[in-house]
Amino acid sequence: MEETLRGQLLIAAPSLYDYFRRAVVLVLEHTPDGAMGVVLNRSSDTVVSEAVPALAALPGSDEAVRVGGPVSPGSVVALGEFGDPAEAGTQVVASLGTLDPDRPSESLQRLRVYAGYAGWSPGQLDGEVEEGAWILERAAAGDPFSDGDIWSEALRRKGGSYSLLATMPGDPSAN
């Protein structure tokens, strides 16, 4: 396994039937102290400008807040695509990074806001990956902004036998 999973997508294996069923998580941080990321494919009914008025003037403020995970649902994680990645609070992959509210971000091109996050204690995520709970794929800067079925899209992009897995319906028993 790589030293860090930062910038990787965690694609939920079909065997996961808990909170993360068919989830795609973008890993924002992965160190010996633990890991954190945001679920990319869970939307809410709340608009960003209503939930976080301080972000109302930024691109994407008229979109829905995403549900980033079960940990600290009152906290906000904002991911942006920057023309100048040096303006990001933390660069995740390519031009994608976290929004730093204390720094100007004139090159911010688009933004996605997440309520809460997914978190893992030291070694926990590594163990889940080794057990096969997650399928790894390198993230692309546009992944957080996908409105399609990113679970299937990411598996198709991974290729090979995963392309067939990407065609699996949400509820296989209804097939």
Q: What is the value of pTM for the model shown?
A: 0.94
Model confidence band, residue 156 (pLDDT cutoffs 50, 70, 90): very high
pLDDT value of residue 171:
66
Where do the structural domains in the chain lie, given as residue ranges?
A: 8-174
Model confidence band, residue 3 (pLDDT cutoffs 50, 70, 90): confident
Residue 165, C-beta contacts closer than 8 angstroms, at least 6 positions apart: 14, 155
Residue 2, C-beta contacts closer than 8 angstroms, at least 6 positions apart: 8
- Alpha helix (H) ranges present in 52-132? 124-131
Residue 35, pLDDT above cutoff 70:
yes
Amino acid letter for position 63? E
Measured between alpha carbons, how far is 132 from 20 in angstroms, rounded to an integer? 14
Measured between alpha carbons, how far is 79 from 141 in angstroms, rounded to an integer? 10
Residue 50, C-beta contacts closer than 8 angstroms, at least 6 positions apart: none
Mean pLDDT value of segment 45-67: 95
Out of 1.10.1520.10, 1.20.120.140, 3.40.1740.10, 3.30.460.20, which CATH number does the structure's domain 8-174 have? 3.40.1740.10
pLDDT in tens, 93-146: 999 999 988 887 899 999 999 999 999 999 999 999 999 999 999 999 999 999
**% of residues, the chain, pLDDT over 90:** 89
At 83, list the tokens: 């023309």
Q: What is the mean pLDDT of the chain?
A: 94
pLDDT value of residue 112:
97
Rounded to 5 degrees, φ, ψ at 30 are -150, 110
**Bridge partner list, 37:** 27, 118
